[in-house]
Amino acid sequence: DAGVIQSPRHEVTEMGQEVTLRCKPISGHDYLFWYRQTMMRGLELLIYFNNNVPIDDSGMPEDRFSAKMPNASFSTLKIQPSEPRDSAVYFCASSLASRYEQYFGPGTRLTVT
């Protein structure tokens, strides 16, 4: 089985530009999570979905961040406009409702200059 797929793997953009990160969860998984990882703040949960419905977005740092899950096999995390402090590695993870472990994608390294 393919694991969690994220694209792009690396993104370099200029401040003020819109950035869209993409995630394909493991087929059949009910939950999808978006995380951000930085040296300063560690691993932070941004938002998570259950059956495509956002459950908790309290970790989204600002209104510049938004996430959608239009169907069970695709989710996006959008930053508009991007700022240098958004530079981080963004991970997507998915899990099955009956099991509690999460499976992580390889991450997207975002650099905002």
Partner 1 sequence: AQSVTQLGSHVSVSEGALVLLRCNYSSSVPPYLFWYVQYPNQGLQLLLKYTSAATLVKGINGFEAEFKKSETSFHLTKPSAHMSDAAEYFCAVSFSGGYNKLIFGAGTRLAVHP
Q: Which residues contact 106 (CB under 8 A, 6 or more apart)?
A: 4, 6, 9
Count of residues in contact with partner 1, rule CB under 8 A: 24
Q: Binding residue for partner 1 (CB under 8 A) from 50, 66, 76, 87?
A: 50
Taking CA atoms, 27 is separated from 2, 52, 72, 74, in Å, by 8, 13, 8, 10
Q: Among 11, 24, 60, 102, indicate the residue that binds partner 1 (CB under 8 A).
A: 102
Nearer to partner 1, 70 or 100 (CB): 100
CA gap 60, 2 in Å, rounded: 28
Taken as a whole, the chain contains a residue count of 113
Bridge partners (DSSP) of residue 65 are: 79
Q: Which of 28, 80, 97, 111 binds partner 1 (CB under 8 A)?
A: 97
* Cβ neighbours, 10 Å, residue 21: 21
Q: Under the criterion CB under 8 A, does residue 55 sit at the interface with partner 1?
A: yes
The smaller minimum CB distance to partner 1, of residues 45 and 64, is found at: 45
Interacting residue ranges for partner 1, rule: CB under 8 A = 4, 30-31, 33, 42-43, 45, 48, 50, 55-56, 91, 93, 95, 97, 100-107, 109
